[in-house]
Protein backbone atom coordinates (compact mmCIF):
# COMPACT_ATOMS: atom_id res chain seq x y z
CA UNK A 1 0.00 0.00 0.00
CA UNK A 2 2.21 2.77 -1.30
CA UNK A 3 -0.27 5.56 -0.61
CA UNK A 4 -1.17 4.50 2.95
CA UNK A 5 1.09 4.96 5.97
CA UNK A 6 0.25 3.13 9.20
CA UNK A 7 0.94 5.43 12.15
CA UNK A 8 -0.07 2.98 14.85
CA UNK A 9 -2.20 -0.09 15.48
CA UNK A 10 -3.51 -2.21 18.34
CA UNK A 11 -5.94 -5.03 18.96
CA UNK A 12 -7.34 -6.57 22.11
CA UNK A 13 -9.56 -9.55 22.74
CA UNK A 14 -11.94 -10.17 25.62
CA UNK A 15 -14.77 -12.66 25.91
CA UNK A 16 -17.18 -9.79 26.58
CA UNK A 17 -16.24 -7.64 23.58
CA UNK A 18 -14.59 -10.00 21.11
CA UNK A 19 -11.82 -8.50 18.99
CA UNK A 20 -11.46 -4.72 19.05
CA UNK A 21 -8.77 -3.03 16.99
CA UNK A 22 -7.63 0.51 16.28
CA UNK A 23 -5.54 1.60 13.32
CA UNK A 24 -4.17 5.11 12.90
CA UNK A 25 -3.14 5.97 9.36
CA UNK A 26 -2.71 8.66 6.75
CA UNK A 27 -3.17 8.68 3.00
CA UNK A 28 -0.74 10.38 0.65
CA UNK A 29 -2.05 13.69 -0.65
CA UNK A 30 -4.56 14.22 2.15
CA UNK A 31 -4.26 16.73 4.99
CA UNK A 32 -6.04 14.57 7.55
CA UNK A 33 -4.96 11.60 9.59
CA UNK A 34 -7.52 8.93 10.43
CA UNK A 35 -8.34 6.26 12.96
CA UNK A 36 -10.34 3.20 12.04
CA UNK A 37 -11.81 1.14 14.85
CA UNK A 38 -12.76 -2.44 14.04
CA UNK A 39 -14.80 -5.03 15.90
CA UNK A 40 -15.47 -8.72 15.36
CA UNK A 41 -16.55 -11.71 17.41
CA UNK A 42 -14.65 -14.33 15.38
CA UNK A 43 -12.26 -12.32 13.16
CA UNK A 44 -14.22 -13.20 10.02
CA UNK A 45 -16.63 -10.31 9.52
CA UNK A 46 -15.46 -6.87 10.66
CA UNK A 47 -17.58 -3.89 11.57
CA UNK A 48 -15.73 -0.59 11.53
CA UNK A 49 -15.91 3.09 12.26
CA UNK A 50 -13.77 5.77 10.64
CA UNK A 51 -12.81 8.94 12.48
CA UNK A 52 -10.40 11.87 12.22
CA UNK A 53 -7.36 11.07 14.34
CA UNK A 54 -6.38 14.35 15.97
CA UNK A 55 -8.79 17.05 14.97
CA UNK A 56 -11.79 17.44 12.71
CA UNK A 57 -10.99 17.88 9.08
CA UNK A 58 -12.50 17.90 5.64
CA UNK A 59 -15.70 15.85 5.79
CA UNK A 60 -15.49 15.17 2.04
CA UNK A 61 -12.05 13.60 2.48
CA UNK A 62 -13.37 11.41 5.31
CA UNK A 63 -16.22 10.23 3.07
CA UNK A 64 -13.76 9.59 0.24
CA UNK A 65 -11.64 7.40 2.53
CA UNK A 66 -14.77 5.56 3.67
CA UNK A 67 -15.61 4.89 0.00
CA UNK A 68 -12.07 3.58 -0.52
CA UNK A 69 -12.48 1.19 2.42
CA UNK A 70 -15.81 -0.04 1.06
CA UNK A 71 -14.51 -0.59 -2.46
CA UNK A 72 -10.91 -1.74 -1.90
CA UNK A 73 -10.80 -5.05 0.01
CA UNK A 74 -7.02 -5.06 -0.20
CA UNK A 75 -6.80 -1.72 1.61
CA UNK A 76 -9.32 -2.80 4.26
CA UNK A 77 -7.47 -6.09 4.83
CA UNK A 78 -4.14 -4.25 4.99
CA UNK A 79 -5.44 -2.07 7.83
CA UNK A 80 -7.07 -5.00 9.64
CA UNK A 81 -3.85 -7.02 9.36
CA UNK A 82 -1.87 -4.15 10.90
CA UNK A 83 -4.09 -4.40 13.99
CA UNK A 84 -4.13 -8.21 14.04
CA UNK A 85 -0.32 -8.23 14.19
CA UNK A 86 -0.63 -6.38 17.52
CA UNK A 87 -3.26 -8.71 19.01
CA UNK A 88 -3.12 -8.98 22.80
CA UNK A 89 -5.14 -11.83 24.27
CA UNK A 90 -6.95 -11.48 27.57
CA UNK A 91 -4.96 -12.90 30.48
CA UNK A 92 -6.66 -14.51 33.47
pLDDT digits (tens, 9 = 90+) for 4-51: 999 999 999 999 999 999 999 999 998 899 999 999 999 889 999 999
| pLDDT for residue 91 | 54
* Average pLDDT of the residues in 71-78: 96
| pLDDT for residue 92 | 45
| pLDDT for residue 90 | 57
| pLDDT for residue 76 | 97
Q: Report pTM.
A: 0.91
In sequence order, the 6+-apart residues with CB closer than 8 A to the CB of 75 are 1, 4, 68, 69
Angle among Cα 33, 36, 11 to the nearest 5 degrees reads: 120
Amino acid sequence: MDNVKILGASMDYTKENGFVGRIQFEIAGQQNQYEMTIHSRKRTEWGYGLFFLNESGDEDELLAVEDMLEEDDELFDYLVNAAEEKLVLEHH
